[in-house]
Amino acid sequence: MFSSIKTSEANKQRVTELTNKLQLGTENVIARIALSYSLAKSEPLVLKSIQDSKGKEYSKRVLFGDNLPFYIALVCQRYQIYKTNQEVPRYLKLHIDDGLERIHNEVTDNPNLLGTEFLLNLIEEGMAKISDNVQ
Protein backbone atom coordinates (compact mmCIF):
# COMPACT_ATOMS: atom_id res chain seq x y z
CA MET A 1 0.00 0.00 0.00
CA PHE A 2 2.68 2.53 1.06
CA SER A 3 6.08 2.43 2.67
CA SER A 4 6.43 5.91 4.12
CA ILE A 5 4.68 9.22 4.73
CA LYS A 6 6.25 12.67 4.52
CA THR A 7 5.00 15.75 6.30
CA SER A 8 4.79 19.06 4.52
CA GLU A 9 7.88 21.23 4.35
CA ALA A 10 6.23 23.72 6.71
CA ASN A 11 5.69 20.96 9.28
CA LYS A 12 9.26 19.62 9.14
CA GLN A 13 10.43 22.18 11.69
CA ARG A 14 7.18 21.96 13.69
CA VAL A 15 7.76 18.26 14.34
CA THR A 16 11.11 19.00 15.95
CA GLU A 17 9.84 22.05 17.85
CA LEU A 18 6.78 20.23 19.22
CA THR A 19 8.83 17.18 20.13
CA ASN A 20 11.26 19.34 22.10
CA LYS A 21 8.57 21.55 23.66
CA LEU A 22 6.08 18.88 24.72
CA GLN A 23 8.67 16.21 25.63
CA LEU A 24 6.35 13.30 24.92
CA GLY A 25 8.94 11.09 23.26
CA THR A 26 10.52 10.87 19.84
CA GLU A 27 9.34 12.70 16.73
CA ASN A 28 7.15 9.83 15.57
CA VAL A 29 5.15 10.13 18.81
CA ILE A 30 4.13 13.73 18.10
CA ALA A 31 3.17 12.69 14.55
CA ARG A 32 0.91 9.92 15.95
CA ILE A 33 -0.65 12.37 18.37
CA ALA A 34 -1.12 14.89 15.55
CA LEU A 35 -2.93 12.31 13.41
CA SER A 36 -5.27 11.34 16.24
CA TYR A 37 -5.79 14.95 17.27
CA SER A 38 -6.76 15.98 13.75
CA LEU A 39 -9.16 13.06 13.36
CA ALA A 40 -10.82 14.01 16.66
CA LYS A 41 -10.91 17.77 16.14
CA SER A 42 -11.52 18.39 12.47
CA GLU A 43 -14.37 17.91 10.14
CA PRO A 44 -13.52 15.50 7.33
CA LEU A 45 -10.71 17.00 5.27
CA VAL A 46 -10.60 17.12 1.48
CA LEU A 47 -7.74 15.57 -0.42
CA LYS A 48 -7.52 18.63 -2.67
CA SER A 49 -6.03 20.52 0.30
CA ILE A 50 -3.15 18.07 0.77
CA GLN A 51 0.18 19.84 1.21
CA ASP A 52 3.57 19.12 -0.31
CA SER A 53 5.67 16.15 0.81
CA LYS A 54 8.98 17.92 1.34
CA GLY A 55 9.19 17.51 5.11
CA LYS A 56 10.00 14.84 7.67
CA GLU A 57 9.78 11.31 6.28
CA TYR A 58 8.59 8.40 8.41
CA SER A 59 8.58 4.78 7.39
CA LYS A 60 5.23 3.24 8.19
CA ARG A 61 6.91 0.94 10.73
CA VAL A 62 8.52 3.84 12.61
CA LEU A 63 5.43 6.04 12.43
CA PHE A 64 2.80 3.50 13.40
CA GLY A 65 4.68 0.63 15.00
CA ASP A 66 2.41 -2.39 15.44
CA ASN A 67 -0.67 -0.16 15.42
CA LEU A 68 -0.97 0.61 11.71
CA PRO A 69 -4.25 -1.35 11.36
CA PHE A 70 -5.83 0.80 14.09
CA TYR A 71 -4.80 4.09 12.48
CA ILE A 72 -6.05 2.87 9.11
CA ALA A 73 -9.34 1.84 10.76
CA LEU A 74 -9.74 5.34 12.24
CA VAL A 75 -9.31 6.91 8.80
CA CYS A 76 -11.60 4.38 7.15
CA GLN A 77 -14.28 4.98 9.77
CA ARG A 78 -14.06 8.75 9.32
CA TYR A 79 -14.29 8.64 5.53
CA GLN A 80 -16.42 5.50 5.15
CA ILE A 81 -13.83 3.84 2.93
CA TYR A 82 -12.34 0.34 2.92
CA LYS A 83 -8.82 -0.32 4.21
CA THR A 84 -7.51 -1.14 0.73
CA ASN A 85 -8.66 2.21 -0.71
CA GLN A 86 -5.66 3.79 -2.43
CA GLU A 87 -6.42 7.15 -0.78
CA VAL A 88 -5.81 5.89 2.79
CA PRO A 89 -2.13 6.99 2.84
CA ARG A 90 -3.09 10.44 1.56
CA TYR A 91 -5.70 10.81 4.32
CA LEU A 92 -3.11 9.75 6.91
CA LYS A 93 -0.68 12.39 5.60
CA LEU A 94 -3.42 15.02 5.42
CA HIS A 95 -4.37 14.48 9.05
CA ILE A 96 -0.78 14.35 10.29
CA ASP A 97 -0.11 17.75 8.69
CA ASP A 98 -3.40 19.16 9.95
CA GLY A 99 -2.77 17.87 13.47
CA LEU A 100 0.77 19.27 13.57
CA GLU A 101 -0.59 22.69 12.60
CA ARG A 102 -3.37 22.49 15.19
CA ILE A 103 -1.00 21.45 17.99
CA HIS A 104 1.49 24.13 16.95
CA ASN A 105 -1.27 26.75 17.18
CA GLU A 106 -2.29 25.50 20.64
CA VAL A 107 1.30 25.68 21.88
CA THR A 108 1.72 29.14 20.34
CA ASP A 109 -1.48 30.34 22.05
CA ASN A 110 -0.38 28.80 25.37
CA PRO A 111 3.44 28.84 25.56
CA ASN A 112 3.47 27.39 29.10
CA LEU A 113 1.58 24.28 28.03
CA LEU A 114 3.29 21.05 29.05
CA GLY A 115 2.99 17.85 27.05
CA THR A 116 1.34 15.90 29.85
CA GLU A 117 -1.08 18.76 30.48
CA PHE A 118 -1.96 18.83 26.78
CA LEU A 119 -2.68 15.08 26.76
CA LEU A 120 -4.66 15.19 30.01
CA ASN A 121 -6.81 18.01 28.61
CA LEU A 122 -7.54 15.89 25.54
CA ILE A 123 -8.44 12.89 27.70
CA GLU A 124 -10.80 15.05 29.77
CA GLU A 125 -12.48 16.35 26.61
CA GLY A 126 -12.89 12.82 25.30
CA MET A 127 -14.30 11.55 28.59
CA ALA A 128 -16.77 14.46 28.68
CA LYS A 129 -17.97 13.58 25.17
CA ILE A 130 -18.42 9.96 26.17
CA SER A 131 -20.31 11.00 29.27
CA ASP A 132 -22.57 13.31 27.25
CA ASN A 133 -23.36 10.47 24.82
CA VAL A 134 -24.22 8.05 27.63
CA GLN A 135 -26.68 10.39 29.29
- For residue 5, the surrounding DSSP H or E stretch is strand 4-6
Q: What pLDDT does residue 91 have?
A: 96
Question: Where do runs of H (alpha helix) occur along the chain?
Answer: 9-22, 27-41, 60-64, 68-79, 88-109, 115-134
Q: What is the pTM of this model?
A: 0.91
Q: Write down all domains in the chain, each with its CATH number in brackets.
A: 4-134 (1.10.1220.160)
Please provide the average confidence, as pLDDT, over all residues in the chain.
Answer: 91
Question: Higher-confidence residue: 111 or 86?
Answer: 86
CB 2 within 8 A of CB 57: no
When mean pLDDT is compared across 45-54, 58-67, 94-103, 115-124, the lowest value belongs to: 115-124
Whether residue 135 is predicted with pLDDT greater than 70 in this model: the reply is: no
Nearest to 1 by CA among 98, 97, 92, 67: 92
Whether residue 25 is predicted with pLDDT greater than 70 in this model: the reply is: yes
Confidence of residue 121 (pLDDT cuts 50, 70, 90): confident
pLDDT tens-digit series, residues 31-70: 999 999 999 987 899 999 999 999 999 999 999 999 999 9
Q: What pLDDT does residue 69 have?
A: 96
Q: Which residues pair with 6 in a beta bridge?
A: 57
Residue 100: other Cβ atoms inside 10 A: 28
Q: What pLDDT does residue 5 have?
A: 95
Confidence of residue 10 (pLDDT cuts 50, 70, 90): very high
